[in-house]
Structure 1
C-alpha cells in the first residue's frame, strides 16, 4: 500500500471491472439482442466474434506503440472506445451495425491491455505476477455482478440497456479520477529490463528459446482464453437447454463461475508472491479445468453445473492467461508492451474463432460445445507441460526466488 502508484493501479483495475461486464454483456442479453437485431442466437454469436477480430486488428501494433509512447494514452483511448461500444449496441438496428460496434469493443480491449498490463508490471516490478492476476479479480467481480444486475432488471421489468449505461457511467467517473494520477516512466523500466537481460548469467542457466517455450506460451494464450471464454458465453444456455434449469438459475451459473474466479485470484496472488512459480499454475489450473469440463459434459444435473461453474471459474478464469503473460515477460523481459501484444493476439484469436465454431456446434447440440472446450483445454495442458520442462532448464532456481 506504500507504493506511490497504488491509486493508479486501483483505477486501472476498476476499468477491468467494467471489462468483465463488457465481455459477457451481449451473451447475457442474448434474448433481447436477437429481437432488437432481428436475428437468432447464431447471429448474436457472430456479433460476439467481432470482439476477437477487433482485438486481433490492433493488439500487436498497440503493444509496440505503448513501448514507444507510454501507457497512459492507450489506457484513455481504450476507455473512450469501449464506452462508444456500450452506447452503440443500444442503438444498433441490425447485426451489421452491431458487428461494427463489437469490433470497436475488441479494439478498445486491446488498446486498454497494451497500456494496463505493462503499467502494472512497471508499477510493481517485484510482484508482477500478483499485479497481473489481480486484474482477473476485477474482471471476475464484473462478471459476478452483471448477472445479478440483469436478473434485477428482468424481475422489475426494466429496460435491459441500463446495464450498458452503467458501464458508461463508471468509465466516465473513473476517467476523471485517472486523469489526475501518475504512471511509471516506461522508458526507465525498459532500460532497466534491457540491462538485466544483458547480464543474464545470474538469472538464466540457458538462453530462453522463443521458438519452443515462447511459442507454447503464445498458444496457451489461445487455449486459456478459449477455455473460460467459451464457458462464460455458453454455460447459461447449456444449463437452460441441456440440464433444463430455469432461465434465471442458468444465468446465475456465471455468478458461481465468477465467485470461483475471484477466490482463485486471492489464493493465486498470495502463492505467486513467494511460494509457487507462476509457470506452475499455467499447468495445474488447465488440468483442473479439463477434469471439470469432462464431468460437466458427462453428468448433466443442476448441482454438477453449479459445482463445475465454480471449479472452472477457479481454475480457468483465475488468472492462467495473466500468469502465462507474466512467465513470458520473465523469460523475455525487455519489451513488455510487445510481449503483451503477442500473447494477447493469440488470446484475441480465441475470442474471434470460438464464437464462430460454437455457433456452428450449437446447431447440433449444446453439449458438443462443452466437449469441444474440454479438448481445447487438454491441448493447453500439453503445451503447459512443455513450458514447465523448458522453464526448469532455463531459469536459475536461485534467481526465481520461489519454490517449484
Structure 2
C-alpha cells in the first residue's frame, strides 16, 4: 500500500521557505552588520561567500551518504546547523566568528539539499520535476516575505536581529514536525532488501562524461546568475539607479514575485509534457537579455521591470530543471547527482561573491556586467545541452527494438 508523503513534502517545503530567508538575510541587513562587525560592504560580501564554501565542503559527501543511510538524518542535521547560524551570526561582533557561522549555514544548505531533493523525487516518482520546482516556490516565498519583515522592523525602529530570530523559530517548529513524518525508501534500503542478482543495479547510470560535465557546469552558471542578482539587486537599485533605500529593498519582493509566477507556469508546462530542455534554453536566454538591458539602461523603471523579469527567468526554477534532467541520468543515485550538481552551484556561491567584492570597490554597475557575461555563457551551454538531448532522443527513436 502506498504511503501518503504529502505531510512530509509540506515539512520539506517549509524548510526551504526559511532557507529562502537565510540566503538574503545578511545582504538585506548589510548596513547593520557592517556596523556590528566593524567592516564595509566588501567585508560583509566575504562573509556571504562563506555560505558557498561551507556548502561545497560537505555537499557531495552528504549526497552519497544519503543514498546509503537515508534522507531524514541529513534533513534534521541541516535544520540544527541553520538554527546555530540564525542565532549565532546575529550575536557576534567578530568577523572571524561571523565567517564561521556563515560556513555553518552553507553546510546546513548542503544537508537539506542532499536529503530533500531525492526525497521528493522518490515520494513523487511520476512528477519529480514538478516536486523539485515547487521547492523554488517556497524559496521565493521566503525571499518575498523577508523584505517586508525587514521593512517593518526598520519602520518601527525595532532591532534588526528579530528577522533572524523569526527564521530560527519557524525552523525549530518545522524540524520537530519532520521528526514524526514518514520518508520514502532510499537506494540503500532498497539494495539491502533486493535479491542478490539485483544488487548491482543501483550503481548504474546513463550519463556520459560530456553530459556530466555539461550539467555540472550549468549548475555553476545558473546558480551564479541568480545568486549575484539576489545579493546585489538592492544595492544596484540604490547606488546605480538612484532609488531610495526603502524602495530598493522592495526590489527583492518584486524579484520573488517573478520567480513565484515562473514556478507556477513551469509546473504546469512540465506536467503538460513541454520538454524541460526547451524551458532551460528559453529561461536562460531571457536572463541574458534582461541583464544586458538593465546594464545599458539603469533607470528606476527599468530596474523594477528587470527585478521581475530576472526573478522569473533565473530564480523561477531553472536550476531545479537542470537538476531534474541530470538526476534522470542517475535513477538509482539521485543523492549523488544532487551532490555533484549542487557542488558546482556551491562553488559559484563561494567564488562569485569574492569577485563581486572586488568589483564593488570599483563600481556596483560592473557586478551586473559580470553577471551578464555569466548569463551569456549559460545560454550557450543550454543550447549545447538541448542539442545533445534532441540528438539522443532521435537516436533512441531510430534504433531497432531488440525484444519485439
- What is the TM-score of this pair, normalised by structure 2? 0.93
For 1:87-98, what aligned pairs fall within 5 Å after superposition? 87-98=87-98
In 2, the alpha carbon distance for the partners of 1:366 and 1:48 equals: 16
Q: Assess, with a 3 A threshold, how the Cα gap between structure 1 residues 189 and 118 changes in structure 2: closer, same or farther.
A: farther
1:33 lines up with 2:38 in the alignment: no
- Please state how far the C-alpha of 1:394 moved relative to its aligned partner: 2.1
Partner Cα separation in structure 2 for residue 229 and residue 38 of structure 1: 25
Distance in 1 of aligned mates of 2:364 and 2:246: 18
CA distance in 2, matches of 1:392, 1:3: 36
Shift of 1:393: 2.1
Structure 1 residues not aligned, in runs of 5+ = 200-206, 400-404
Q: In structure 2, what is the equivalent of residue 203 of structure 1? A: none
User: Aligned equivalents of 2:43 and 2:163: distance in 1?
Assistant: 21
Please list, as runs of the form range in 1=range in 2, the aligned pairs for 1:97-176 lying within 5 A after superposition. 97-176=97-176
Check whether the contact 1:122–1:189 (CA below 8 A) recurs between aligned residues: no
Q: For residue 60 of structure 1, what is the aligned residue in structure 2?
A: 60
Q: Kindly provide the CA deviation profile for residues 218-256 of structure 1, in whole angstroms up to 9, marking residues without a partner as x.
A: 111111111111001001001000111000110000000
Work out the CA distance in 2 between the residues paired with 1:24 and 1:36: 17
Question: Structure 1 residue 240 and structure 2 residue 252: aligned?
Answer: no
C-alpha distance in 2 between matches for 1:278 and 1:294: 25
Following TM superposition, by how much is the alpha carbon of 1:208 offset from its aligned partner in structure 2, in angstroms?
4.9
In structure 2, do the counterparts of structure 1 residues 142 and 174 end up closer, same or farther at CA, with 3 Å as the change threshold? Answer: same
Task: Tell me if structure 2 keeps the 8 A contact 1:213–1:386.
Answer: no
How much is the aligned-residue C-alpha RMSD, in angstroms?
2.1
Per the alignment, residue 269 of structure 1 pairs with 267
Query: Is this contact kept in 2: 1:62–1:111, CA < 8 A?
Result: yes
Corresponding position of 1:257 = 255
**2:10 counterpart residue number:** 10
The match for 1:49 is: 49
Q: Check whether the contact 2:207–2:330 (CA below 8 A) recurs between aligned residues.
A: no
Please give the alpha-carbon distance, in whole angstroms, between the structure 2 residues aligned to 1:257 and 1:139.
12
Residue correspondence of structure 1 range 3-402 to structure 2 within 5 A: 4-187=4-187, 208-395=206-393
* Contact 1:190 1:334 survives alignment (8 Å): no
Cα distance in 1 for partners of 2:83, 2:33 equals: 18
CA spacing shift, 1:133–1:211, aligned 2, 3 Å: same
Structure 2: gaps of 5 or more residues: 398-404
- 2:402 aligned residue: none
Cα distance in 2 for partners of 1:7, 1:163 equals 26
Aligned-residue offset at 1:190:
6.0
Question: What SS does the corresponding residue of 1:129 show, helix, strand or coil?
Answer: helix
Displacement of 1:209 in angstroms is 4.7
Aligned partners of 2:134 and 2:317: how far apart in 1? 8
**In the aligned structure 2, how far is the partner of 1:154 from the partner of 1:260?**
25
TM-superposition CA deviations, 1:89-110 (whole Å, max 9, x none) = 1111121110000000000100
